Structure 1
Amino acid sequence: MLTSESSVLKILLVDDSASHRMVLAAELDAMGHDTVEADCAEDALRLYKLERPDIVLMDVEMPGHNGHWAAHQIRLSDPEAWTPIIFLSGLARDDDLAAGIDAGGDDYLFKPVSPVVLQAKLRAMQRLRALSQQLLTLTDQLRASNADLQELSLRDPLTGLTNRRGLDIRLDEELRAARREKLPLTVLLLDVDNFKLYNDTAGHLQGDDCLRRIGQLLAGTCRRPRDLAARFGGEEFVILLPGTSHSGAMLFAKALRRTVHQLALPHPAHGGERCVTISGGISTAVPDGNSTIESLLSRADAALYTAKSLGRDRFFCFETQTDTTTGVAEAANYDRDKGSSADLF
């Protein structure tokens, strides 16, 4: 980026007259700038793309395509950048000046070119180009900051997992993909067993640490690119497994349950004799036009409460009518709305 008026400029000098180019090139060299020369509009466009000059000095009247055409093509070839274009012309009518600006030019120098005026124009364009580069840098920084903020808005601050908003977005994407590809989509809704007792005994700070540990474990189980672990709310979590069948979901849940056991996180309400466990509900479907995010989550939620009614520390799946502990469904017809709260909590 140019930051000083004394910076060396790379200048593309375009003029069909070799004598005019020689005079201007000598003046630019005396000012300490580097010059690339072209003798026609087509060559100017080619050299602009190849050399990426800091400034273009362009004759207007040339055989074939004129300078206005070349300026227009330069702007089309590089729409996000701004390189100053100064036209060189003996035409001083208002219409000629307006046509040059409309074509993409930024200023005019009238022939014969005064070295003093040329140097002043270059300094002015150099300052403008430096400001343009600074603006582009700030725009890039702002874009990156917005991307970071967007990422943060989809993250749960406690566990670092995707939050409920991010989960809803991904669920919608994966539901559409599964419906389009006619592939199964599995949702696991799980929570930490007896977590209220954990908080009441150890306090909320240690409870937060427990949730962080569980969140890290769940994130580690999502090894495929599209698998997702998210915090649903409180001590509830969701794992999204695109392209996973009923049997695959049950195998995943069994492995997850073993992993939680291996974590061996003591549950303070049981004097360290028992460790933290999780219960979960599994919902798997090949979505059709009637499938919704709400229906998937509702079925997983009902399966979660069934798992709790069967004794916790297990996953239950309505589709297979089995749980991950016994392999059978002692309470397959469990009704969450009619179930006893004493049985659940």
Structure 2
Amino acid sequence: MKTLVIEDSASSRRILCGHLERLGFSVFAAADGHEGVAHFRAQRPDLVLLGLKLGDVDGFTVIRRIRQIEAPGEWTPIVFLTEAGDDAALQRGVAAGADDFLTRPVSDVALGVKVRAMQRILQIRQSMLVITRQLDTANQELNRLASLDGLTGVANRRLFDITLEREWRRAMRQGTALSVLMVDIDLFKQFNDRFGHPAGDECIRRVAGALATVLDRGGDLLARYGGEEFAVVLAETTLDGACFVAERMREAIVTLALERSDVPLGRVSASFGVACAVPMPETAASVLLAAADRALYRAKRDGRNCVRATDSLDPENALQETSA
């Protein structure tokens, strides 16, 4: 345990250092307050023992300066030396930031008991800090896992909803376009009924992987929306740009060549609905999502395995179509 002794009396300083060295501590000393503060800044000791009368600056000031040097979350035990019965000094020392005191003359036993107690408190504190860091890491991992879909590893519905709301507000502030894609694996119920749920799960995983390969911007989000449906948030993306992404995703799924003999194409495909808008205060993110959902259903009605899009949030307006 590295200990700093700050004491202006050479004889007292020598005695204190001798006591501490016999206890097995590594000791360095300072003869005045300014030197003590400089030593603390350079050496960062585990314990500080100081007198209150230091000549150039009083011990209360030294204590306060040491506490100012410590970074947030750091703590160094400080024990000050005082005369027996000096209650005012005790109050001022603790108020300045000290942790405990010893009365003069200091005996080997009293010093040993005090520094061992401070050492034990420091060890307990270090253990608690380690546990706290471990808990923080565990909580961060739990939060991450709580935002992911267990089957596919992409974002889940919860994270999608949070991201959509956040990006909607940001786009409103910046006056930029925001696009949403809704994706549905074509005739998936029939796939599950014919090939079984394990094959269905593997299909969903493979499709999620294909969709993820298309997204190359850090701010884009792919999420499993539920069942065989996926949703994508594309910040600062126009309708044409979103349709381009959707078409690449559609092609990526077909390119997987996941065979299914119960459909004319002979392989797994998906339908896409795309919606884009510049958010306004009188609208909500849910309206954009609903528009993308309507576009998705139009894609299904038009034969599936295609992209349909709209730049209108009004359900009465006709959709702007793009062919697959």
Aligned to 1:206: 199
CA contact (8 A) 1:261 1:275 kept: yes
Aligned to 1:144: 137
Aligned-partner Cα distance in 2 for 1:212–1:54: 53
Q: Aligned match of 2:10 in 18, 27, 32?
A: 18
Aligned to 2:315: none
Aligned to 1:329: none
Question: Aligned partner of 1:140: which letter?
Answer: R
Q: Which digits, 9 at most, give the CA deviation of each residue in 1:301-327, with x for residues without a partner?
A: 0000011111100110123712232xx
Q: Aligned match of 1:73 in 42, 59, 65?
A: 65
Aligned-partner Cα distance in 2 for 1:215–1:134: 43
State the percentage of identical aligned residues. 39
Aligned to 1:321: 320
Task: Tell me by how many angstroms 1:27 deviates.
Answer: 2.7
Aligned-partner Cα distance in 2 for 1:27–1:125: 16
Aligned to 2:41: 49
Question: Aligned partner of 2:218: which letter?
Answer: P
Relative to the length of structure 1, the TM-score reads 0.86
Aligned-partner Cα distance in 1 for 2:204–2:57: 70
Aligned-partner Cα distance in 2 for 1:28–1:281: 76
Q: Which digits, 9 at most, give the CA deviation of each residue in 1:137-165, with x for residues without a partner?
A: 11111111111111111111111111111
Aligned to 1:4: none
Task: Tell me by how many angstroms 1:98 deviates.
Answer: 2.9
Helix, strand or coil: the match of 1:269?
Answer: coil
Aligned-partner Cα distance in 1 for 2:35–2:307: 71
Aligned to 1:297: 289
Aligned to 1:332: none
Question: Aligned partner of 1:287: which letter?
Answer: P
Helix, strand or coil: the match of 1:191?
Answer: strand
For structure 2, the 5+ residue unaligned runs are 312-318
Q: Which digits, 9 at most, give the CA deviation of each residue in 1:260-305, with x for residues without a partner?
A: 11111112534x9611101011011121212311011000000000
Aligned to 1:170: 163
Task: Tell me by how many angstroms 1:211 deviates.
Answer: 0.8
Aligned-partner Cα distance in 2 for 1:50–1:245: 57
| Coordinate RMSD, CA, aligned | 1.9
2:233 matches 1:240: yes
5 Å-filtered alignment, 1:59-138, equals: 59-78=51-70, 79-138=72-131
Do the aligned partners of residues 283 and 103 (structure 1) sit closer, same or farther apart at CA in structure 2, a change above 3 Å counting?
Answer: same
Relative to the length of structure 2, the TM-score reads 0.91
Helix, strand or coil: the match of 2:114?
Answer: helix
Question: Aligned partner of 2:22: which letter?
Answer: A
Aligned-partner Cα distance in 2 for 1:238–1:122: 61
After superposing the two structures, state which structure 1 stretch, 39-48 or 291-300, moved more.
39-48
Do the aligned partners of residues 291 and 214 (structure 1) sit closer, same or farther apart at CA in structure 2, a change above 3 Å counting?
Answer: same
CA contact (8 A) 2:214 2:248 kept: no
Aligned-partner Cα distance in 2 for 1:160–1:43: 57
Question: Aligned partner of 1:229: which letter?
Answer: L
Task: Tell me by how many angstroms 1:207 deviates.
Answer: 0.8
Q: Which digits, 9 at most, give the CA deviation of each residue in 1:152-203, with x for residues without a partner?
A: 1111111111111111111111112211222211110111000010111111
For structure 1, the 5+ residue unaligned runs are 1-8, 326-345
Runs of at least 4 residues off by over 4 Å: none
CA contact (8 A) 1:307 1:323 kept: no
Do the aligned partners of residues 127 and 173 (structure 1) sit closer, same or farther apart at CA in structure 2, a change above 3 Å counting?
Answer: same
Aligned to 2:300: 308
5 Å-filtered alignment, 1:134-283, equals: 134-267=127-260, 269-270=262-263, 274-283=266-275
Q: Which digits, 9 at most, give the CA deviation of each residue in 1:13-63, with x for residues without a partner?
A: 112223322222233233332223233334433332322211110212223
Do the aligned partners of residues 116 and 202 (structure 1) sit closer, same or farther apart at CA in structure 2, a change above 3 Å counting?
Answer: same
Aligned-partner Cα distance in 2 for 1:290–1:49: 57
Aligned-partner Cα distance in 1 for 2:159–2:257: 30
Do the aligned partners of residues 38 and 324 (structure 1) sit closer, same or farther apart at CA in structure 2, a change above 3 Å counting?
Answer: farther
After superposing the two structures, state which structure 1 stretch, 285-294 or 87-96, moved more.
87-96
Aligned-partner Cα distance in 2 for 1:62–1:258: 79
Do the aligned partners of residues 93 and 268 (structure 1) sit closer, same or farther apart at CA in structure 2, a change above 3 Å counting?
Answer: farther
Aligned-partner Cα distance in 1 for 2:41–2:148: 42
Aligned-partner Cα distance in 1 for 2:36–2:167: 50
Question: Aligned partner of 1:280: which letter?
Answer: F
CA contact (8 A) 2:82 2:89 kept: no
Aligned to 2:316: none
Helix, strand or coil: the match of 2:262?
Answer: helix
Q: Which digits, 9 at most, give the CA deviation of each residue in 1:103-145, with x for residues without a partner?
A: 2222211122212221221111111111010011111111111
Question: Aligned partner of 1:296: which letter?
Answer: L
Question: Aligned partner of 2:268: which letter?
Answer: V
Question: Aligned partner of 2:323: which letter?
Answer: T
